[in-house]
Amino acid sequence: MKTLNRLLPLVAALVLAGCATALPSLPPAVDPPPQFKEQPRQNEHWTIAQPAEAQSRGTWWKAFNDPVLDALVDRADAGNTGIQEAAARLAQARALVRGARADRTPQVGLGAAADRGTGTSTANGSAPGTLLQAGVNLSYEVDLFGRLSRTQDAAALDADAREALLQSTRLMVQAEVAQTYLALRATDTERALVNDTAAAYADTLRLTQRRFDAGDVAELDVIRIQTELAATEAEVFALDRARAELEHALAVLLGEPVSGFALTPDTTARTLPVIPPGVPATVLARRPDVAAAQASLLAAQARVGVAQAAWFPSVSLTGAAGYASPELSDLFQWSARAWGVGALMSLPIFDGGRREAGVQGAQAQFDAAAAQYRGQVLGALREVEDQLSALRLLHEQSQAQGRAVSAAQRASAISETRYRNGLVSQLELLDARRNELLNRRQAQRVEAAQQQATVRLVRAIGGGWDAV
C-alpha cells in the first residue's frame, strides 16, 4: 500500500504532463511571390477551375483539338499501371483509416474454452476435473491522452496524401501521354519534310542525269546529287526508328501490349494553346504533389503526439459474461452463468529508452517531412517559372526562325531558276536546298519544343483548366 501511495503522485504528474504536452509547431511556409517573373498572355478560351487537390485536373489536353489525343488519354486513365498502383495504395490507406477508427470502439467477441486440470483435493489427492466455458467478451480502451485519436488523424492524413498522389499520378500520366503523342506527330511532320526533300533531290538527279547524258555537265555533278539523295533517305530511316520507339512508349503508357498498338502517320497542324498560370498562391493550391507533401507533414506531426502518448498510462475496460460448468449438459443452465468486469491501467516504468527513441524518431520524421514540403513548394514554383520563360523564348525563337525559313525558301527558288538557266553551278543549288531543309526542320523542331513546354507548364501548374 505504501508503494502504491508513492506511485500515485508520479501518475498524477504524468497525467498533467500529458495534458500539457504540445505537438511540434509547423515550420514557416514558403511565402509565394505575388506574381511570376514572366507575364504570359491571357487567353479567354480557358476557364479556371476551383482549387482542390483531390479533384480531377480538368480536360486540359482537349485544348490541342486532337480527337486521337483525347482517346489516348482516356485509354491511359483506364489502363495505365501507375494509376492502378496509386489507386490501390489509396484503397490501402483508407483501409488503415477504418482500422484506426475501429480501435476506438468497443471490441466484442464470442469465446469458448475447455480446460482439463487438477480439481478439488480429496483424501487420496487431487482429482482431475474439467471446466467448460462459453460467453461474450468485451474490451474498450479509454483514450485519455489522445493516442488513439491521433493515430486515426495520422491515418486519415495519410489517406489524404495518397488521394492527392493519385491525382498527381493521373496528371503525370496524362502529361506524358500528351508529350509522347505530340513528339510522335512532330516526327511524322519532320519525316514528311525529309521525304519531300528526298523527292526534290530525286527530280534534280533525273535532270542532272539527262544533262550528263547530253554532255552538258560532268559526272561529278551526278555523284553529288546521288550523295545528297542517299543521305536524305538515310535520315528517313532514322526518323522511322525514333517514331517506332515513341509508339512503343505510348503503348506502355496506355497499359497495352506494344505488339498490338499502332498509330497511322498524321501531319495535321495542331493548336498551340496559351496557358494562363494564374498567381503562385493558386498554383500551390492546385498542385496535388504539394497537397500530398502537406498532408504527410501533418500526419508526421500527429505521429509525434502518438509517440509522446506512450509515456502516459493506458486504461482498458474489460467485461465477460457467459456460462461455466464441468459438465457439457449443464453448460447452458441458468445456475452455470458467470460474469466479470475489470479495469486495467498500464504504465511502463523502465523500457531501456524505447519510448524516448520513439519520440525522437517521430520528431526526425516530422523534420524530414517539413523539409520535403518546403522543397516541394520551391520546386513547384521553379517549374512554372522554367516553362514560362521557355515558352517566351521559344516564341521569339519561332518568329526569328520563321524569317529564316522564308529567306531560305526564296534563296532556294532563285538558285533553282538560275541553275536551270545555266547561270549558277549545281553546287550552289545544292547548298541553297540544304540550307532550306536545315531551316525548315529547325522551325519544325521549335514548334515541337513549344508543344512540349506547353504540356510541361500545364503539369507544373497542376492542371485545373477545362478547354471551352
Please give the Cα distance from 194 to 200 (Å, whole number): 10
231: in domain: yes
99: in domain: yes
At 22, list the grid cell. 504540445
**What pLDDT is attached to residue 10?**
47
5: in domain: no
Q: Which residue has the cell 478439488?
A: 120
Q: Which residues are registered as beta bridge partners of 126?
A: 121
**What pLDDT is attached to residue 465?**
59
67: in domain: yes
198: Cβ contacts below 8 Å, ≥ 6 apart: 229, 232, 233, 236
- 8 Å CB contact between 399 and 303: no
371: in domain: yes
Number of domains in the chain: 1
pLDDT in tens, the chain (468 residues): 444 455 444 444 444 444 445 667 666 566 666 667 665 444 444 344 344 444 445 788 988 889 999 999 999 999 999 999 999 999 998 898 888 888 878 888 887 777 777 655 555 556 667 777 777 888 877 777 788 888 888 888 889 889 988 998 999 999 999 999 999 999 999 999 899 888 888 888 888 888 888 887 888 888 988 998 999 999 999 999 999 999 999 999 999 999 999 999 988 888 788 776 666 777 777 788 888 888 888 888 888 888 888 888 887 778 777 777 776 666 677 666 777 787 777 777 887 888 889 888 989 999 999 999 898 888 888 888 898 899 999 999 999 999 999 999 999 899 888 888 878 877 788 888 888 888 998 999 999 999 999 999 988 888 765 544
CATH number of the structural domain spanning residue 384: 1.20.1600.10
Please give the Cα distance from 126 to 145 (Å, whole number): 48
**What pLDDT is attached to residue 3?**
46
**What pLDDT is attached to residue 143?**
77
**What pLDDT is attached to residue 39?**
54
Residue 460 structural domain:
23-107+158-314+348-467
CA 397 → CA 187, 401, 410, 447, distances in Å?
Answer: 20, 6, 20, 10
**What pLDDT is attached to residue 309?**
83
320: in domain: no
**What pLDDT is attached to residue 213?**
87
Please give the Cα distance from 171 to 56 (Å, whole number): 9
Could you report the per-residue pLDDT of 33-70, keeping only the tens digit for each?
666 766 544 444 434 434 444 444 578 898 888 999 99
Segment 79-88 long-range contacts (CB within 8 Å, at least 24 positions apart): 79/254, 79/255, 79/256, 80/173, 80/253, 80/254, 80/255, 81/255, 82/169, 82/172, 82/173, 83/166, 83/169, 83/170, 83/173, 84/255, 86/162, 86/165, 86/166, 86/169, 86/170, 87/166
Query: pTM to 2 decimals?
Result: 0.78
115: in domain: no
**What pLDDT is attached to residue 183?**
94
Of 78, 458, 81, 138, residue with least CA distance to 319? 138
**What pLDDT is attached to residue 97?**
87
**What pLDDT is attached to residue 126?**
61
CA 351, chain centre distance (Å): 41
Please give the Cα distance from 278 to 267 (Å, whole number): 33
284: in domain: yes
